Amino acid sequence: MSNQRVVITGIGAISALGAGAGHNFEQALRGRSGIGMLELAGGRQRAGLPAAQIRYPLPELIKASEQALFDRNALLGWSAASEALQQSGIVPGDDLSADSGVFWGTGMGGATTVEAGYVDLFVEGKSRVRPMSVVAGMNNAAAAQIALRCQFKGTVNNYSSACVSSAQAIGEAYRHIHHGYAERVLAGGSEALLSYGVVSAWDALRVLAPANADDAARSCRPFSAGRSGLVLGEGAAAVMLESLESAHRRGATILAELVGYGASNDATHITKPDVEGQQRAMTMALRQARLDPSAIGYINAHGAGTAAGDLVETQSIRGVFGAAADKVMVSSTKSVHGHTLGAAGALEFVLTVQALTSGSIPPTAFLDQADPECDLDYVPLEARHGRVLQAAMSNSFAFGGSNVSLIVQRY
C-alpha cells in the first residue's frame, strides 16, 4: 500500500462571517462576530435566540432551472467547494477526473427541504410535496452536485456524524489519498438547518446560549466564566486535497500539508464529552503526523461555549500536551461564526490552515471573564500576528461521542 503525502491546494468557506475563505479568516482575526438575533423565514419564530445566520444573498452559482434541485445546504456546499476548486487550478473534466473524489460531511443535509415538505402536508393540508424533494433533501445531495460540477468521477463518500461530520470527511479523504485510492479529493462539509423545526429541537435540548442582553453578537463565549451554551450557525467549507505527486505534476501552489488525522468515540455517553475519548483522537493524530505535541503551535479548539465541553477539552489538551500545554495557543473561532455543526470541522480547519500559513492567530472573541478552571492560553480578544508555526491542530467533537483531530503542517 502506498503512502502518499497529502497536500492542500485550495480552500473555500462561507459562513455568517461572509463568503470566501480569506474573508472569513480576516473577520475571525478581527473578532468580528457574525452572530445576531435569529430571524427564521416564514411566520414562525423561536424568540430570544441568537444565531450565526447568513443574511446576505448567496453567490449566484447555479442556473435558475437548477434551483429546485438545490437545498440551501447544497448551495452553501457548492459555494465553498467551487472556491477551493478554483484556487487549486484544477479544471473540471481533465484527465485525472477518474482519480478524483468528493468526501463531504453534513449533520442533517437537506433537513429544511424535508421540513418544507412536512409543512406542505401537515400544516398547509396539501396532498403532495414538491417533486424535487427527494433529490434536494437527500443527505448526499451536496456531495453529488459538487461531484457533478467538478466532473470528479472517483469515490464520492458522505459522512454524517453530527458536529465532526466534515472533519471526518477531511480525515477520511486524507487516508484515501494517503493509501493511494485517489489522486485528489475535494473534502469538506456544509450545514443549513436554521429552520423552525430544527432550531426548536436544539432549543429543547437546552444547550443553546440565550442572547446576550447587551449585544446579541457577543452571545457565544467559549472558555469564558460566563459562557452559557452554543450558538447555532450555518455555512460550508472545503479543501482540495491532493497527493504531493499530483500537485507537483500540475505545478500547483501548495498551501500546507495534511499530516495527521485521529478519530475516536467516547462510548461513554450520548452527549457528555469525555476526556479520554478526546485524548485518543488527538494522540492518534499526533502519532500519525509523527509530531511531538510541542510542534503544535496553535489549536483551533472545538470550544462550542458549553460549560462542560470547554472544560473537558481543556483537560484533554492538558493531558495530551503535558508541559507543552502552557505554550500552545488555543482559540475557539465559534465565538464569531457560531457552531456550524456538520460544517464546523471543515470551516475551522480552513481557518487553521490560514493561521498556519499567515502566522496570524485568530482570537477567542468576547473572552473577557476568565474561567479559573479553563487555564490554557485561549488567545483572548485580540489576534496575534507574526507567529511562525510548524504545525497546527483542529479539534472537533460531536454528540454521539465522536472525536476528530486534524493536524496540518507547513509545506
Partner 1 sequence: MTTSSLPTVIELLARSLDIDPASITGQTELESLGADSLTVIEVIFDLEEQFGIQVGDERPDLKIVQDLADQIDRRIAAGAVAP
Q: Enumerate the active-site residues.
A: 163, 302, 339
Q: Which residues pair with 364 in a beta bridge?
A: 380
Q: Does 57 bind partner 1 (CB under 8 A)?
A: no
Residues 271-300 that bind partner 1 (CB under 8 A): none
| C-alpha span between 399 and 270 (Å, rounded) | 6
Q: Give alpha helix (H) positions in 196-306.
A: 196-204, 244-250, 275-289
Selected binder of partner 1 within 132, 144, 254, 324 (CB under 8 A) = 132
Query: Does 135 help bind partner 1 (rule: CB under 8 A)?
Result: yes
Q: Which grid cell is 300?
A: 483551533
Give whichever of 142 and 173 is closer to partner 1, judged by the CB atom.
142
Is 121 a binding residue for partner 1 by CB under 8 A? The answer is: no
In whole angstroms, what is the distance from residue 178 CA to residue 391 CA?
A: 19
**Contact between 63 and partner 1 (CB under 8 A)?**
yes
Smallest gap, in angstroms, from Cβ of residue 326 to partner 1? Answer: 58
The CB-of-129 to partner 1 minimum distance in angstroms stands at 10
Q: Which letter does DSSP use for residue 325 in this model?
A: G
Choose which of 3, 43, 57, 65 interacts with partner 1 (CB under 8 A): 65
Residue ranges in 327-386 that form contacts with partner 1 under rule CB under 8 A: none
DSSP state of 254: P
130 binds partner 1 (CB under 8 A): yes
- Which triple of cell numbers denotes residue 116? 418544507
SS (H, E, C) 358-387: HCCECCECCCCCECCCCCCECCECCCECCC
Q: Is 149 in the site for partner 1 (CB under 8 A)?
A: no
| 58 in contact with partner 1 (CB under 8 A) | no
Taking CB under 8 A as the binding criterion, the range among 5-13, 27-35, 60-68, 188-196 that sits at the site for partner 1 is 60-68
Q: How far is the CB of 120 from partner 1 (least distance, A)?
A: 11
68 forms part of the interface with partner 1 (CB under 8 A): yes
What is the per-residue DSSP string for 36-83? EE---SSS---TT-EEB---SPPP--S-GGGGGG--HHHHHHHHHHHH
| 323 touches partner 1 (CB under 8 A) | no
The answer to whether the beta carbons of residues 261 and 282 sit under 8 Å apart is no
Describe the chain by its helix, strand, coil percentages, rounded to 5: 40, 20, 40
CB of 404 to partner 1, least distance (A): 36
From residue 157, how far is each of 164, 189, 241, 272 by CA, in Å? 15, 11, 14, 28
Q: What phi and psi, each to the nearest 5 degrees, are found at residue 241?
A: -100, 145
Q: Which stretch binds partner 1 (CB under 8 A): 62-70, 85-93, 282-290, 357-365?
A: 62-70
Residue 144 or 307 having the CB closest to partner 1:
144
Tell me which residues in 78-97 interact with partner 1 (CB under 8 A). none
User: Does 131 help bind partner 1 (rule: CB under 8 A)?
Assistant: yes
Choices 25-33, 47-55, 129-137, 168-176; region in contact with partner 1 by CB under 8 A: 129-137
Residues that bind partner 1 (CB under 8 A): 63-65, 68-69, 130-132, 135
